[in-house]
Amino acid sequence: MNLFKTSLFILLSFTGIAGHAQKHSSQKKVVFIIVDGIAEDMLDKSEIPNLKKIKKDGALLKAYVGGEKGGYSETPTISAVGYNSLLTGTWVNKHHVFDNDIKDPNYSYPTIFRLFKDQYPGKKTAVFSTWEDNRTKLIGEGLAATGKIKMDFSYDGLEKDTLKFPHDKQSGYIRKIDSLVAGKAASYIKENAPDLSWVYLEFSDDMGHRHGDGDILYKAISFEDRLIGKIYDAVKEREAKHGEDWLFIVTTDHGRSASNGKGHGGQSDRERDTWITINKPNINAYAKNNRVAITDILPTMTDFLSIKVPENVQQEMDGIDLLKNRAVSQLNASLLSDRTLEVTWKVVTPTKESAEVYVTTTNNFKTGGKDYYQLLGQADLSSGKFISKQRLDHSDIYKIVLKTKEGFLNTWITQQNK
């Protein structure tokens, strides 16, 4: 074999190996599903083989909605409010969706879709929903305030077609729409594999409102479980055939009233206590040992998808990743009598790391402005406490940030919680 043929053979061999590796590279993709109005305790009363299948692959976590009970971030346990807490990783005091009317969302707090599209404009997004407002109002498709974000694919709005789906008192039309939404999600994911998808299913919540605790509601939950299974099967098929790496998360937006399971909106344990199913087994110590928050889903997705979240957005996020290691969680702060600051946190895993503590007395972020943070000092994370030596000026708000090598934690002191 002459030198030219030898060189050509080596080149073609290398190209073939590289092409094979590229073909089988593990692309990361995400699907998250919100199935409406299922309190944590209701899972034990319903047939849910598909949620159990996801749990077997990963984990079923105890979770909560509703923000800090009695605190500045207390959040109504209402559907759209919960959706937006997931989408933005913040509680209602920030995202400003207080009810299902969605009158005045604060789009300064970006959704997962905006964060994703800002970094990966060429990658594909999709929404499959039994309620069109999820796309038009919460994601804010086409609005100037959201940068006129556009979903690459959407399947929603069927509830507005009253000829094909006449609205009956038992919400049979919602059951049909849920089935169509889940079927479209499964087929579209199987064929097109969008990079980031949201699926929303409603029927379980309607049965809760109409019938409360009992077989009708539990059978509705089992019906939703079957739909979830179709979507999960599509994801598993993609992984097997194409070598993709999918993060699959299912959760609910609120629990139900303690008395009969019909209502929600308040702060009872049953209205707040929810769950998160995730298909990854490598959950961190925080997720294993705590009741996690719906706001933890967004940072879990951004980290999985390697989204570089701007620092000022990170400083506002109320959740932390469920997969990546986190040494500390649950930041709190209080003003001492001499107007110095005491900051505390929970140590999740033993650590020798230090962190920086910052404070600002403005909240310009909520109107698209900038907050200038003052460094108060270095903190030993293992101690679980930091006391500032600087006397703070009077303010109606103090926003405190703990910056660790793993990310940010934030807490506020306002007139409400001084």
Backbone angles phi, psi at 286, to 5 degrees: -60, -45
User: Percent of the chain scored above 90 by pLDDT?
Assistant: 91
Strand order in the sheet with 341-347: 328-335, 341-347, 385-387
Residue 12 within a domain: no
Same domain, 88 and 227: yes
Q: What is the span of the domain harbouring residue 368?
A: 328-414
pLDDT score recorded for residue 339: 85
Residues 236 and 137 placed together within one structural domain of the fold: yes
Query: Which of the listed residues 288, 314, 340 is the one where a domain comes to its end?
Result: 314
> b/e map of 142-168 (b: 16 or more CB within 10 Å)?
eeeebeebebbebbbebbeeeeebeee
Average pLDDT over residues 140-167: 98
Which tens digits make up the pLDDT trace of 197-224? Answer: 999 999 999 999 999 999 999 999 999 9
Specify if 4 maps to a domain.
no
Q: Is residue 21 part of a domain?
A: no
One-letter amino acid for residue 165 of the chain: F
Q: Give the per-residue pLDDT at 338.
A: 82
Amino acid at position 281, single letter: P
Q: Which of 263, 290, 314 is the last residue of a domain?
A: 314
| Domain shared by 95 and 219, yes or no | yes
pLDDT at position 141 is 98
Please identify, among 256, 279, 314, the residue that sits at the C-terminal boundary of a domain. Answer: 314
Residue 320: inside a domain: no
Examine residue 37 and state whether it is found in any structural domain, yes or no.
yes
Helix axes 215-242, 203-211, angle to 10 degrees: 170
Report the C-alpha gap between 101 and 163 in whole angstroms.
24
SS3 for 96?
Answer: coil
Q: Identify the pLDDT of residue 2.
A: 52
Query: What are the tens digits of pLDDT across the range 167-179?
Result: 999 999 999 999 9
Residue type, 143: L
Residues 241-259: tens digit of each pLDDT: 999 999 999 999 999 999 9
- Pair 285, 344 in one domain: no
Same domain, 397 and 278: no
Residues whose CB falls within 8 Å of the CB of residue 218, separated by 6 or more in sequence, listed in order: 42, 45, 46, 47
Whether 34 is covered by a domain: the verdict is yes
Question: What's the gap between Cα 286 and its chain centre?
Answer: 16
Residue 231 to residue 250: CA distance in whole angstroms: 11
Same domain? 131 vs 242: yes
CATH number of the domain enclosing 198: 3.40.720.10
Instruction: Count up the domains in the chain and report the number.
Output: 2
Q: Is the pLDDT of residue 405 over 50?
A: yes
Together in a domain, 99 and 159: yes
Q: Within this chain, do residues 73 and 170 fall inside the same structural domain, yes or no?
A: yes
Nearest to 348 by CA among 302, 277, 404: 404
For 333-371, what is each residue's pLDDT tens digit?
999 988 899 999 999 999 999 999 999 999 999 999 999
Query: Quick one: 186 and 292 in the same domain?
Result: yes
> What is the reported pLDDT for 22?
41
- Please give the structure tokens belonging to residue 288: 């294993």
Residue 234, pLDDT above cutoff 60:
yes
> Is residue 13, in this structure, part of any structural domain at all?
no
Q: What residues pair up with 329 in beta bridges, in sequence order? A: 346
Averaged pLDDT, 39-57: 98
Instruction: Give the other-Cβ count within 10 Å of 62's Cβ.
Output: 13
| Pairing outcome for strands 397-404 and 354-360 | antiparallel
The CATH number for 364's domain is: 2.60.40.10
Same-domain check for residues 194 and 302: yes
- Do 35 and 114 share a domain, yes or no? yes
Question: Do 125 and 57 share a structural domain?
Answer: yes
